[in-house]
Homo-oligomer: A and B are copies of this chain.
């Protein structure tokens, strides 16, 4: 079994034990993910990038992965597939010769 699936199974088990699946509709899972993303960002607020506490970054990032994995599980997405496909799509949107060294969005390139 792949690593992602092992993590998903652990999260599933955690939720089943607590009878939490009833709350975990996709809309609230997406909302929970964005709230964790904001908590991650708060670690950098009024600071330089290197001033965030790595231990706290670790915690918030783990929360983000946890909700992202629950959403992937809910929709039956294979994490390896969707990320690999997205990298390929981005490679077409941001061709090396145009995008090299530029932070512009693809529609401004």
How far, in whole Å, are A23 and B101 apart by their CA atoms in the complex? 9
How far, in whole Å, are A58 and B53 apart by their CA atoms in the complex? 31
A25 within 8 A of B: yes
Q: How large is the interface on A (under 10, 10 to 19, 20 to 34, 35 or more residues)?
A: 35 or more
Contact B25 A49 (CB under 8 A): yes
How far, in whole Å, are A91 and B18 apart by their CA atoms in the complex? 10
Contacts known (A10-B87, A79-B65, A87-B14); A38 close to B49, Cβ less than 8 A: no
- Residues in chain B near residue A33, CB distance under 8 A: 37, 40, 64
Contact B80 A7 (CB under 8 A): yes
Closest Cβ neighbor of A104 among chain B residues? B46
Distance (Å) between the CB of A31 and the closest chain B CB? 6
